């Protein structure tokens, strides 16, 4: 014999995993028992009290007695149904939360498998890792060249200025820390990056640039624009030096070359539509121009190359291209 057709409610129960609620639940059983006890008490009261027999002869009093008997019984069932519905709702909420957690875990696992299987994402991760390794290798070499030790960390290779009286005990910023601060920490657990970032904020030379860069990078992130994802060609230290010395036009056009067109279009749109974004961008460009002009003569070509790979320098190239700074 063919299987019986599945009714819609059965389909729902099978798909959702929710079993039908039995009518004779705990609440209904208690309500039935309480109703029976109440009716028995009322019957005993009415039949044992002889004066009530004469009273029940009046039609209006009969209505009053009926209401007096029925109302408590009705309240018993109202309370029972309320408690039952509350229990069912709690169970449904728990099942819903469990289903949501399961969906999130499944999506996260699926997303991880998809990301691992996507060659484009793998290539992008490899490029970001290579860029980070280049910066770290350059910083390590700079430290070696500077001969920085625990006792000589206060002798930077740039801008050997007199510190204020209240900062005489603090160590001046080194080139490696300067570059690390302009690149910002990679994660909250990047202790080395966090230390350089905090010291950079307090530094007289780059403190203003770090704050301006942080503001513009935050505005970029609101538009899902991140400097790690920016496609940009490598630039020569000589071109950066020409810019620092006042060069403009074709001699520094390399700084704005081969930048991601989608990122350029997004930044240009924000510059035209958002006055807050535009003001922050112009402030950042002025800070970068002033700070880099002060630093360039004290940096080697290798140090400038490392600085050009930082997130701050990438943001400068993107905004400079949009505003026509390199034309």
For the residues 71-91, what does the mean pLDDT come to?
83
Place of tokens 């990301």: 115
If asked whether residues 297 and 238 sit together in one domain, one would say yes
Of 63, 89, 117, the position where a domain reaches its end is 117
Tell me the C-alpha distance between 103 and 97, whole Å. Answer: 10
Domain of residue 264 covers 125-323
List the one residue out of 85, 108, 138 whose CA is nearest residue 301: 138
Contacts of residue 182, defined as CB under 8 A and 6 or more positions apart, other chains included, come to: 200, 206, 209, 210, 213, 307, 310, 311, 312, 313
Tell me the C-alpha distance between 49 and 197, whole Å. Answer: 91
Q: How many CB atoms lie within 10 A of CB 125?
A: 13
Contacts of residue 277, defined as CB under 8 A and 6 or more positions apart, other chains included, come to: 219, 270, 271
If asked whether residues 160 and 77 sit together in one domain, one would say no
Quick one: tokens of 98? 């469990």
Of the two residues 305 and 19, the one the predictor is more confident about is 305
Q: How many CB atoms lie within 10 A of CB 270?
A: 20
pLDDT higher than threshold 50 for residue 18: no
For the residues 57-80, what does the mean pLDDT come to?
78
Of 117, 152, 168, the position where a domain reaches its end is 117
Instruction: Write out pLDDT tens, residues 180-229.
Output: 999 998 887 888 888 888 999 888 888 999 999 999 999 999 988 988 88
Quick one: tokens of 289? 């121009």
Residue 137 lies in a domain: yes
Give me the pLDDT at residue 20, please.
Answer: 53
Q: How many CB atoms lie within 10 A of CB 44?
A: 10
Give me the pLDDT at residue 6, please.
Answer: 40
For the residues 156-176, what does the mean pLDDT come to?
54
Quick one: tokens of 179? 């570059």
Residue 207 burial (C-beta neighbours within 10 Å; 0-12, 13-18, 19+): middle
If asked whether residues 172 and 210 sit together in one domain, one would say yes
Q: Are 252 and 242 in contact (CB under 8 A)?
A: yes
Q: How many CB atoms lie within 10 A of CB 27?
A: 18
For the residues 55-68, what does the mean pLDDT come to?
69
Give me the pLDDT at residue 275, please.
Answer: 92
Residue 3 lies in a domain: no
Residue 1 lies in a domain: no
Does the predicted TM-score (pTM) go above 0.85? no
If asked whether residues 185 and 222 sit together in one domain, one would say yes
Residue 191 lies in a domain: yes
Q: What are phi and psi of 199, to 5 degrees?
A: -70, -35
Q: Are 148 and 276 in contact (CB under 8 A)?
A: no
List the one residue out of 246, 211, 221 whose CA is nearest residue 325: 246
Residue 216 burial (C-beta neighbours within 10 Å; 0-12, 13-18, 19+): buried
List the one residue out of 321, 310, 309, 215 whose CA is nearest residue 266: 321
Give me the pLDDT at residue 74, please.
Answer: 87
Tell me the C-alpha distance between 55 and 235, whole Å. Answer: 108
If asked whether residues 100 and 220 sit together in one domain, one would say no
Tell me the C-alpha distance between 164 and 13, whole Å. Answer: 76
Quick one: tokens of 322? 């949009």
HSE-CB of 192 using CA atoms within 13 angstroms: 10
Residue 106 lies in a domain: yes
Contacts of residue 300, defined as CB under 8 A and 6 or more positions apart, other chains included, come to: none
Instruction: Write out pLDDT tens, residues 226-271.
Output: 888 888 888 899 999 999 998 888 889 889 888 888 899 999 999 9
Structural domains in the chain (count): 2
Q: With bands split at pLDDT 50, 70 and 90, how would you rate the model's confidence at 273?
A: very high
Tell me the C-alpha distance between 26 and 310, whole Å. Answer: 68
List the one residue out of 276, 138, 307 whose CA is nearest residue 210: 307
pLDDT higher than threshold 50 for residue 156: no
Residue 47 lies in a domain: yes
Instruction: Write out pLDDT tens, residues 101-150.
Output: 666 666 666 555 554 445 555 555 555 555 655 666 666 665 555 554 44
């Amino acid at each position: 014999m063919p299987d019986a057709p599945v009714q819609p409610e059965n389909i729902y129960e099978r798909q959702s995993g929710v079993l039908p609620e039995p009518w004779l639940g705990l609440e209904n059983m208690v309500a039935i028992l309480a109703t029976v006890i109440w009716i028995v008490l009322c019957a005993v009261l009415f039949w044992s009290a002889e004066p009530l027999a004469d009273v029940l002869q009046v039609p209006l009093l009969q209505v009053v007695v009926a209401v007096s008997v029925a109302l408590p019984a009705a309240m018993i069932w109202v309370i029972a149904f309320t408690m039952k519905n509350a229990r069912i709702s709690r169970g449904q909420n728990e099942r819903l939360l469990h289903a949501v957690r399961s969906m999130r875990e499944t999506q996260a696992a699926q997303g991880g498998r998809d990301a691992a299987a996507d060659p484009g994402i793998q290539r992008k991760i490899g490029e970001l890792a290579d860029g980070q390794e280049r910066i770290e290798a350059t910083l390590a070499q700079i430290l070696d060249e500077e001969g920085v030790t625990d006792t000589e960390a206060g002798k930077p290779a740039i801008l050997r200025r007199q510190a204020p009286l209240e900062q005489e005990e603090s160590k001046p910023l080194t080139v490696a820390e300067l570059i690390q601060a302009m690149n910002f920490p990679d994660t909250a657990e990047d202790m080395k990056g966090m230390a350089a970032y905090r010291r950079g904020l307090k530094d007289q030379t780059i403190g203003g640039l770090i704050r301006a860069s942080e503001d513009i990078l935050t505005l970029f992130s609101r538009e899902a624009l991140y400097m790690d994802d920016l496609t940009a060609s490598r630039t020569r230290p000589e071109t950066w030096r020409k810019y620092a010395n006042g060069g403009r036009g074709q001699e520094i056009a390399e700084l704005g070359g081969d930048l991601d067109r989608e990122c350029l279009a997004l930044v240009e749109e924000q510059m035209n539509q958002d006055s807050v974004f535009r003001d922050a961008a112009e402030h950042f460009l002025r800070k970068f121009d002033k700070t880099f002009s002060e630093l360039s003569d004290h940096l080697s070509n290798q140090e400038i190359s490392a600085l050009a790979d930082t997130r701050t320098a990438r943001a400068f190239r993107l905004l400079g291209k949009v505003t026509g700074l390199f034309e």
